[in-house]
Amino acid sequence: MKTIPLSLHARRGGILAVSLVAIGFITISFTVWVGLLSQRGRTSEVEEHASRRRLAAWNTRSAIREYALERLITSSGDTDGFDFDPGNTGWTHTTAPATSGYPMESNTRLAGLNGFSFSWDYPYSKVVDATAGTLALGFNFTGPNNERVEASYSNSASFLKTYVRSRCPVLGGDLLIVHRSSLVPPVAPAVSGNITVNGRVLHFVPELAATAYSARSIRFAAPPGATAMTLRPTDLNGNDIPPSNLGWTPVTFGRAGGVTDLAGRLNVIDDINNGGNSLRQKLNASAATIQNGGGTAISDPRGFENNGSGLVTVTPCVGPSNPADLPSVVVDSEVNEIVIEGQTGANFDGYAQFRPAIAVVYIQRETSTRKLQTIRLRKQDRRRFILAIKQEGNTPGLPVNVIVEDVNSISEWNMVILAENTPLNFSADTAVSQIRLFGGIQTNAPLAGPGAGQSLAIGLQSDTRGLIRLTPRAAWVETIMPDKIPGSTNENSW
């Protein structure tokens, strides 16, 4: 019998040990590989879920913006709130509480300012805290036998802050706003004559012929939605300037024809249905407002007189001799001529600018026998006020001549002009070379500046006290999605 040496036994044992170690490494490697494949499969599932949640979040944002634009801005309240879950899947479940009060009547101003918003200044805001729910992936999303467990998905909520912002754009730097006509067929709101705008022009009808616009300005913006951009805006030196190409958010000035308008129509002087953005309705809320039928004679020592035969005279600031300030005035129909008596001397230099802001409103019904033909601006004026003229009906309004009567070469007027269906033709005495209007003009009808040798220069009103509460506003919607639920440890991010 042949004997196997001990050394050979040792070698065979070593080979076996190495083989066992190699098998162990292979087993471990295979286990790790299988685990990585499993994790990779779960990672793709989680990534798919995250993508679906992000898409759901943006769908939620779009839904709440549309809700705010269509139902909140011009509504006095929503008793039903908002509950939206398309398909009842739970992937995009958005809710908002009931609300009350017109957003464009809000007097709440936030400390923060979105530099890319519609306004150049701090807007008023109405806040709606919407709750946006999406399906959240649970930790145990596989069962004992690696089957998918749908029941482990739960509803994860986060807050979506929705701000309905509103602000008077004229007082924020949009010094000339050309609106779309509300008539059928519409009237082209042509701008002609010598008009300079030391701020931005906001033109909602940029498809007009280039010859239908002659104003010069520092900036120019034409909101999207027009069929073409054929205007040729120029700067103060007469050189071409490109319109602003910043992103545009839907903006409304309220209701026109009974529905919320997003096309730039103007209906802010007298419409009880215009969502808290009607100037007359604001004035009616004050018992101090003088309400006068144009055919009724009245004389008020504070600075208002109607002779009952078509002539209305408004003296915004009588002076220290009568310290009682003239309140806002609303006149209905039957007027041929409105005279605004300004100030001179110490009354102009050191008194009028400290009087509270007011509004002078004239509404001409279709049935009015007398038609407004002339507005005379005599002397100069430093009491800030709104001059609002509206001709009702579905026929083009008659032109109104705005005549500045002054002995100074520069005639200063501090007012915001609102003109609905009322073409305005500016002119001045021969002594006047420039009419300086600190405020702005909003119109949906033709506007003509002075002829050769004279100009209408529009500048920013630096003192908005009182005016900012009276002037009609534009409104838009901003939404903010936080990274996590406020006040909780939930780190689920949008």
pLDDT tens-digit readout, 181-229: 999 999 999 999 999 999 999 999 999 999 999 999 999 999 876 678 8
Residue 254 CA to residue 260 CA, distance in Å, equals: 6
pTM, two decimals, is 0.84
pLDDT band at 170 (very low <50, low <70, confident <90, very high): very high
Amino acid at 410: I
435 has a pLDDT exceeding 60: yes
369 has a pLDDT exceeding 50: yes
pLDDT tens-digit readout, 306-358: 999 999 999 999 999 888 999 999 999 999 999 999 999 999 999 999 999 99
pLDDT band at 484 (very low <50, low <70, confident <90, very high): very low
- Exposure string for 391-419, b = 16+ CB within 10 A, e = fewer: bbeeebbeebbbbbbbeeeebbbbbbbbb
492 has a pLDDT exceeding 50: no
Cis ω for the linkage preceding 185 (within 30 of 0): yes
pLDDT tens-digit readout, 440-481: 999 999 999 999 999 999 999 999 989 998 999 999 998 876
Residue 248 CA to residue 223 CA, distance in Å, equals: 7
